[in-house]
Structure 1
């Protein structure tokens, strides 16, 4: 039986680093930076005001109250700022260039706000309310490093330092396939023994959440020849390039009619194993016609947990994420739990303020309970029971119902 870490290494080895591509800044959201971004300009690019007020010489306003003529107005965006004449002030707006000679900005709240001769009623400390050129980042410095996920703040910084396009990792193209003759499209009237197909929707969304692009392949019946024919016809892609990964669910257990195991097992390039975990023991990994393949069990919870443990970190590592794993946190159990000996248990839980409560039982069919969970409770292989109040490690999963 393979350990969790051993199978994680096998899956990770199937997916090399993805190639880089240059995209427009607006198309880089939620991508991963492939090359460092160097600041083309300093931030701030010039000395400017941090407040609406009056640019002044501090030495001329220390004996408050003091009245000084307002020699000029400086709105944000002005490019022809004149030096500050002795014995005067200039009215200035937030972000506007500081006039040469000024060494303090007096907020308008400390004055009478006039535009001809202003009365300064209180004096801020010398050097107050100034933003100095380059104090955030210097021109030529590295603003963003390769491996950085590009969220709103990162794209804002890239734009602020002059980047119009960014080099990012290409998103992995994942072909998602659910198998089973009992599966029908949601909304179709069910016959006895049929169920609605849900795994492809679950896994496609998980792929997108991890940073990939998913294409759902319509499930095929439990027929080996039809399965292989369908898969091989789809691995080359449909105009968007060949798949980087084939992700299947179902057909990998030890029973009869296990179409994925029967079809790929005969090829000799996909290995099927048991992993010491619950749920999600039956797993498979390898290649088909040179395309990486990961086969997951068919029960929805087993499929989701297997994706989280094996596929998501591999995809994110291929995308260049410096930290491909989910965030983890210690938590206190609100109730006792049991776990099978020799297997790592991934229980569904609700994490809140340092405490975690189990959601539903360990059954791999409890989809409604999975949808209410916001974490996985990882119980080590050598632990069979834990009392209420015990400390556990939880994996924080995003997108759970609140």
Structure 2
């Protein structure tokens, strides 16, 4: 068995970023930039008012009160075409361009309007309430770097930079194949020795949430010919993910069938719990990641290994396990040689901070505890017994629709 860290390193080293495609800005949310997004315009394009008020020369309002003659206005989308002279002011609104000759803004709350004049009651200094040209960005600036996962805020920035199109990394095509005579799809008739399978659908949801395109191949029976035929559906995929059939039982066929048909095996079995029977190799041009069949093991391995694979394919920088720390909420015994991932609830103590309390039972078939967990407590191999209050590493689950 190899360590989790070595397995993740070897998997990611064998994966290369995918090619790119151009998409409209409206289609770019959640995609990963394949090249720097460079501003095509300067924002703001000229000095602008940050407030409603009056554009003035700071020298004219150094001593107040003082009366100034209003000679025009500069609304947003319009401009005062003349040049401001001594003793003059221009009515201006937020976003209006600063007139030539003006260097400051007196906000409207600090003046009294007297016909075509304003009485300035409170002075200002040069540059006050003025947004200089290029305050946000200048044409040619890199606003968003290559490898960035685009958020709602990023879409707004790209739009402001006048970028109607963005070049993003192609979504990885990931084929998913569950195995086992005992598994049926949700809604199908359940035989006396069968259970409803969750791995295919949960893995497909995981792939989608991480930015990939899931190709759900269905459930293969424990039959070599049928398994080979269904695996053919992965042709053209960037990655084949299997669940079940990768252990050592006589009905665990995935490993053998793939090797019989040309898979080059990198490794098989990892010193982790849950998830020992993890396999990685290459079947033709398609990488293969074999997962355990137990549903919790499958999703824990997806979090630890599949997400970094997808991030590497998408060109995201430095994929990792995103560990954090918390205080342990209950005593734990010493660990054995396998790195342990314990489902836990996460609470926050005003004095102590985050507290992770493991569920009492950690059976890898118990999906409900995974669904209700907030994080995984990560216990390294041969970790000593830990008392409540000890600082431990955790792998937090994401919020929103990803949830893992």
TM-score normalised by length of structure 2: 0.92
Q: How many angstroms does 1:286 deviate by?
A: 1.1
Shift of residue 75 of structure 1? 1.3
User: Bigger shift: 326-335 or 353-362?
Assistant: 353-362
Correspondence for 2:351? none
Contact preservation (8 Å) 2:111, 2:121: yes
Query: Is 1:158 matched with 2:152?
Result: no
Kindly indicate whether the alpha-carbon contact (under 8 Å) linking 1:11 and 1:311 is maintained by their aligned counterparts in 2: no
- State the 1:342 CA deviation: 0.8
For 1:84, the equivalent position in structure 2 comes to 84
Q: Name the residue aligned to 1:295.
A: 290
Aligned pairs, number:
396
* Equivalence for 2:279: 284
Measured in 2, the distance between the counterparts of 1:114 and 1:396 equals 62
Query: What is the 5 A alignment of 1:1-400?
Result: 1-79=1-79, 81-112=81-112, 116-232=116-232, 234-236=233-235, 242-271=236-265, 273-338=268-333, 340-353=335-348, 354-399=354-399
User: Partners in 2 of 1:326 and 1:131 — Cα distance?
Assistant: 42
Question: Higher mean Cα deviation, 386-395 or 323-332?
Answer: 323-332
Q: Is the 8 A contact 2:80 2:99 kept in 1?
A: no
**Structure 2 residues not aligned, in runs of 5+:** 349-353
CA distance in 2, matches of 1:327, 1:6: 16
CA offsets, 1:8-64, max 9 Å, x none?
123223421111222222222111111122222222221001111111111112332
Q: 1:116 to 1:376 in 2, by over 3 A?
A: farther
> Deviations 1:352-397 (Å, cap 9, x if unpaired)?
4422122353211110110112222111112042110111111222
1:239 matched to which residue of 2? none
1:276 Cα deviation from its structure 2 partner: 0.5
Instruction: Report the more deviating stretch, 204-213 or 344-353.
Output: 344-353
Q: Secondary structure at the match of 2:393?
A: strand
The change in CA–CA distance for 1:192 and 1:340 in structure 2 (over 3 A counts) is farther
Taking only aligned residues, the RMSD between alpha carbons, in angstroms, comes to: 2.1
Give a deviation string over 1:299-342, Cα, whole Å, max 9, x none: 11100111111111121012111132243222111111235311
Q: After TM superposition, which residue ranges in structure 1, 4 or more long, deviate above 6 angstroms?
A: none
Distance, in Å, in 2 between the alignment partners of 1:130 and 1:114 is 25
Equivalent pair of 1:91/1:115 in contact (CA under 8 Å): no
**CA offsets per residue over residues 258-278 of structure 1, 9 Å max, x none?**
131232242352536221100
Q: Would you say the 8 A contact 2:61–2:124 is kept in 1?
A: no
CA distance in 1, matches of 2:377, 2:238: 30
Which whole-Å CA distance do the structure 1 matches of 2:214 and 2:157 have between them? 30
Q: Which stretch shifts more, 85-94 or 302-311?
A: 85-94
Q: Provide the secondary structure at the position in 2 that maps to 1:64.
A: coil
CA distance in 2, matches of 1:361, 1:119: 76
Q: Distance in 2 between matches of 1:346 and 1:281?
A: 12
Structure 1, 294-303 or 256-265: larger mean CA deviation: 256-265
Q: 3-state DSSP class of the match of 1:368?
A: helix
Flag structure 1 segments of 5+ consecutive residues without an equivalent.
Answer: 237-241
Report the alpha carbon displacement of residue 118 of structure 1 after superposing the two structures with TM.
2.3
Alignment partners' CA distance in 2, 1:190 and 1:141 = 60
C-alpha distance in 1, partners of 2:358/2:115?
Answer: 66
Residue 229 of structure 1: CA displacement?
0.9
Give the TM-score taking structure 1 as reference length: 0.92
Three-state SS of the structure 1 residue aligned to 2:312 is helix
Contact 1:251 1:260 in 2 (8 A): yes
